[in-house]
Amino acid sequence: MNSAHDQKSLTPSPAEPVWRSKDYEGAGETLNLDLERYWLEARVLKFWIAGIIAAFLLLSLVVTLLMQPVYEAQSRIEVSQITANVTDIDPLDGGANVSENQYLNTQYELLESRFMAERVVEAGNLMRDEAFLDAFDLLENEELTTKDVEDLLSDRVTINGIVQSSLIDIVFSSPSPDVSAAIATLWAEEFIAANYDKRFGDNIEARQFLQQQLSELRETLAQSEEALVAYANANEILVLEAGDGEGAETAAQSLAATDLSALNEALAQAVTDRITAQAAVQAGDLLGRRKNPQLTSALALAEAELSTLKENFGPDYAPLRQKSAEVAALSRALEDETASLLGGARASLAAATARERELRAALERAKTNFLGQQGQSIQYGILKREVETNRALYDGLLQRFKELEASGAGQNNIKLIDRAQAPKRPASPSLVLNVLIGGVLGVLNAAALVYLRVLLSQTVRSPEEVSDSFGLPVLGAIPLVQGGEILEALRQQSSELSEAYRSLRSNLAFMSPEGVPGVVMMTSTVPAEGKSMSAVALSASLAKFGKRTLLVDADLRNSRLQDTLDIGYNDRIGLSALLTNPESTVAGSVERLEEFGIDYISPGVRPPNPVDLLANSRFAEVMAEARGQYDQIVIDAAPLLSLADAVETAKVADGVIYVIEFDRVKVKAIRAAIDRLRSSGAKVYGAALTKLDQRAAEYGYGYGYGYGYGYG
């Protein structure tokens, strides 16, 4: 007995043939396990997967046939960077310098803005366009608003920038090819117009304002000029203008002032002439200053010659007398001329005096007229300055208007390259694309189904999961045998089921240095996991190995092993009787199962308090007695569930083989049950994975299919 307890404390031999123990596998194997499990579930659900994919493919076909055709039309514009101003006129709107990418991104956002939708709706009069409204079935919609149409346009327009270029495609989709082409082209045109307004709109507005101001100022200038002319005519104010020789400026003065100035100058000249004539007459030097030089010279020459003749000849000398007559004739001619000149001088003096008198009188009249116009010139000057001011304002505004006209006549930096053409074929629906999408959705939904199946099942699907989840080696992988032929399969030494349990026995031999532990308990989480039949099979395998083997049915609550083995009931013997009657012996309570070569202790009468019986020291005494009579003892304990039967039973065993049914019990429940065993001090050697079906074959486990058993 002490030896048995010593064996319970021993660790498994390093040579134990555990199956993919957690200590031996890496992260890559865990990943492979997950993928394999998904693949396994996919194979199990292959008909569901095929149905889901087929359903989505059919749905995509139906949707394609029911979808309304949509036509896409595309217009193309070119957006260039704004060039520098080529005039000396400063623009009213100075644009900031931005990078090309930033500028193009700004244009993309503007093309997709609500501002553009509003312009297109207004420019195309889409609220009343029957073709547009009919294309979108909006003719009968009495509650249609402008915002609804704008939202519709925004949803249907797509802006595509062509990489490494300044070209932008404007794509509009609608059920009508003509409407799509019209809106795509209109969108491009309105964007070009909006850009022009943005660039030159301030200049245009300024020109319009200046044009209005020029018109008003022109009328004001005309009125002021008319008032000036009317005042001058009413007051007989004549204004003379003279150019400066270049035509750029003029000088203006009244006729009265001009006359006064001219008369004053003429009077001054007349006074000068009179004084000169009077002085000539009074001084008497007029003759000396006014002699005929020819006569004077001839007279002087004749007098000289006469003097010479008188000195040399006498008075009777004929040449002398002739020269004397010549001198006399010249003297008379000179005197006659002098007399004539003196008369002319006096006449000139009289004429100058008369002219001076007349000019002085005229000057007095002009002075009187000029002085009379002095008061009128003040108002005339006021009117004239008003005319000049209005003319200066008009000329300044006109100059600025011409400048803005020159600077505002620039070219738009956005141009329409291609107008949209009505498409001949619809862009959607695309049968190929929809079928492809349907196939992808089908595959995704099928994958989701497999994933949810794996996620929600959380059951043990392979020996590797036993090691990963519970840290237990798998001592045996027992195949599922369909139908009720399990006993027949166990009787056949060559059956795959018998071979599996022999493998379990062999692996169990490595659990202690002495070989197979003396007392082995088998339990499970819930009933019908194959625990009881595994206990029978293991006992039979040990017996065939030459060991005296005892099978103890310790499931005092709900054992069905007697019915399965077709053993008759005997109320006087069994485990219940052994535990309640101190006089009972093991030898007197066993029954022989010849076909398996083992002894068997049935549970006996079902007691009202199974846990109390199993926790009693009598149970340990019975097992000590059995150890002395048998080489191997296999205890078929009750399932753990939420009961303490198996925990109490484990106290008398060297170790526990935990039976887990393939793909049935949740991992969480199994882990909780194993933790209960370990917390009680029980030694769990490993697990036996039972009822491996065809799904487990994907992992390399399984021994043939077509047999079956369905209870434990």
Phi-psi region of 543 (alpha: psi -120 to 50; beta: other; left: phi over 0): alpha
Mean pLDDT of 141-154: 90
Residues of the chain with pLDDT > 90: what percent?
31
What is the mean pLDDT of the segment spanning 276-301? 65
The yes-or-no verdict on residue 64 having pLDDT over 90 is: no
Confidence of residue 271 (pLDDT cuts 50, 70, 90): confident
- Position 295 pLDDT exceeds 80: no
- Give the pLDDT score at 339: 64
Residue ranges of alpha helices (H) inside 45-95 are: 46-66
565-614 pLDDT, tens digit per residue, is: 888 787 788 899 999 988 889 999 999 999 889 999 999 888 888 999 89
Structure tokens at 329: 């004739």
The pTM of this model reads 0.48
**Number of H helices and number of E strands within the chain?**
23, 14
Q: DSSP letter string over 462-481?
A: SHHHHHHHH---EEEEEEP-
Other beta carbons less than 10 A from residue 387's beta carbon: 19
Please give the pLDDT value at position 198.
Answer: 78
User: pLDDT, tens digit, for every residue of 313-324?
Assistant: 777 777 877 878
Q: Is the pLDDT of residue 344 over 70?
A: no
pLDDT at 67 over 90: no
Per-residue pLDDT for 10 more than 60? Answer: no
* Residues whose CB is less than 8 angstroms from the CB of residue 75 and which lie 6 or more positions away in sequence, other chains included: 169, 170, 184, 185, 187, 188, 416, 418, 419, 420
User: Which residue carries 């199974």 as its tokens?
Assistant: 610
Average pLDDT of the residues of the chain: 80
pLDDT of residue 404: 64
Closest CA relative to residue 381, chosen from 550, 196, 237: 237
* DSSP line for 256-299: HHHHHHHHHHHHHHHHHHHHHHHHHHHHSTHHHHH--HHHHHHH
Are residues 647 and 682 in contact, defined by beta-carbon separation less than 8 angstroms? yes
Backbone angles phi, psi at 175, to 5 degrees: -70, -10
Residue 709 pLDDT > 70: no
Lowest average pLDDT, out of 20-29, 136-145, 376-385, goes to: 20-29
* Res 562: pLDDT: 83
160 conformational bin, left if phi > 0, alpha if psi -120 to 50, beta if neither: beta
| Class of residue 204 by CB neighbours under 10 A (exposed 0-12, middle 13-18, buried 19+) | middle
Nearest to 85 by CA among 407, 554, 540: 407
Q: Give the model's confidence band at 55: pLDDT under 50 very low, under 70 low, under 90 confident, else very high.
A: very high
- Which residue has better confidence, 207 or 164? 164
Q: Per mean pLDDT, which range of 162-166, 175-179, 657-661 is the poorest? A: 162-166
Of 118 and 267, which is predicted with more confidence?
118
pLDDT above 60 (res 707): no
Tokens of 24: 């031996």
The token pair that represents 569 in the structure block: 């009931």
Q: What residues are paired with 632 via a beta bridge?
A: 549
pLDDT given for residue 371 in this prediction:
66
When pLDDT is averaged across residues 24-41 and rounded to a whole number, the result is 56
Residue 122: Cβ within 10 Å count: 13
Q: Say yes or no to pLDDT of 182 above 60.
A: yes
Q: Which of 279, 282, 254, 274 is nearest to 358 (CA)?
A: 274
**Residue 91 and residue 407 in contact, taking contact as beta carbons nearer than 8 Å:** yes
Is residue 475 within 8 A of residue 482, CB to CB? The reply is no
Q: Is the pLDDT of residue 625 over 90?
A: yes
Predicted confidence at residue 76, as pLDDT, reads 95
**Choice between 675 and 357, residue whose per-residue pLDDT is larger:** 675
Residue 636 carries which DSSP code? E
Per the listing, tokens 């003892």 go with 633
The confidence band for 367, taking pLDDT boundaries of 50, 70 and 90, is confident
Contact 433, 91 (CB under 8 A): no
* Cβ atoms within 10 Å, residue 170: 26
Backbone angles phi, psi at 306, to 5 degrees: -65, -40
Dihedrals phi, psi of 512, to nearest 5 degrees:
-150, 160
How does DSSP assign 506-519, residue by residue?
HHHGGGSTTSS-SE
Q: List the structure tokens of 465.
A: 């999961």
* pLDDT greater than 90 at residue 652: yes
- Distance between CA atoms of residues 11 and 29, nearest Å: 26
Q: What is the pLDDT of residue 705?
A: 37
pLDDT, tens digit (0-9, with 9 covering 90-100), for 221-263: 888 888 878 877 777 666 655 444 444 344 445 666 777 778 7
Token couple for 328 = 């006399």
Res 326: pLDDT: 79
End-to-end distance of the chain based on CA atoms, in angstroms? Answer: 30
